[in-house]
Amino acid sequence: MNATNLFQPILANLDFEQGTIDNCEQMIVRRLSDLQGYFQDDEAAQAMLEDDPVLYRVYPMKSCGEETGLLVGTSVLEPGCVGNEYFMTKGHSHLLEEAPEVYFTLSGEGMILTETADGDTVAQKMEKGTIHYIPGKWAHRTINTGAVPLIFFAVWPANAGHNYGAIKNKGFATLVVKGEDGPELIKNLNYS
Ligand code: S6P
Ligand code: ZN
């Protein structure tokens, strides 16, 4: 078969220190203003909006266009807090509900919250070398509980799509907050 009729193999380089991918589709930047309403302490969030810090960046590797293939990307989640809540990603489930995903932590420290539509939560610690398999139908969010960027590598089906609406509206049932002795998981009293 003629190779020109096939999807072409793609090469990219990952910078392990920065978490960047050079052959990147288009970097996504999420600032605090992109996550308005996501943090519990709205007063603290409003006070930080003047600086509007970058919470995370996503580097999606260039895709070869294979619709039933895989997508690859890294996420770099900055350290910090809004009130007592650590910087976190928006969190989403997949539009194609049964689409799973794999995260591989490259550096930093954090948590991955995975949650069913009924609010059952599984929280796992993320640190260099941890691999997280997220089955279909589980919403997922990452939280940086450390002092340096949390960097992880992700692989997911190209046809998965992202559903942000449900999480934006009802949040996660569990929050990760900064306690006296480190990260604590608490119930989200505003979860609906
Ligand atoms: C994509 C994968 C990650 C996240 C990224 C940002 O399926 O899970 O690349 O998109 O960590 O999180 P979010 O919730 O803002 O998409
Ligand atoms: Zn995902």
The pLDDT tens digits for 21-56 are 999 999 999 999 999 999 999 999 999 999 999 999
Place of tokens 């997949």: 94
**What is the length of the chain?**
192
Tens digit of pLDDT for each residue in 20-30?
Answer: 999 999 999 99
Ligand 1 binding pocket mutation candidate from 162, 164, 168, 172 (most atoms within 8 A of CB): 162
Per-residue pLDDT reduced to its tens digit, 67-92: 999 999 999 999 999 999 999 999 99
CA distance 139 to 166: 9
pTM: 0.97
Helix (H) or strand (E) holding 73: strand 70-77
- List the beta bridge partners of residue 132: 103
Ligand 1 site: residues with CB under 6 angstroms?
30, 58, 73, 75, 89-92, 101, 142, 154, 156, 162
CA distance 86 to 31: 14
Which residue lies with its CA nearest to atom 14 of ligand 1? 91
Judged against a pLDDT cut of 70, whether residue 182 lies above it is answered with yes
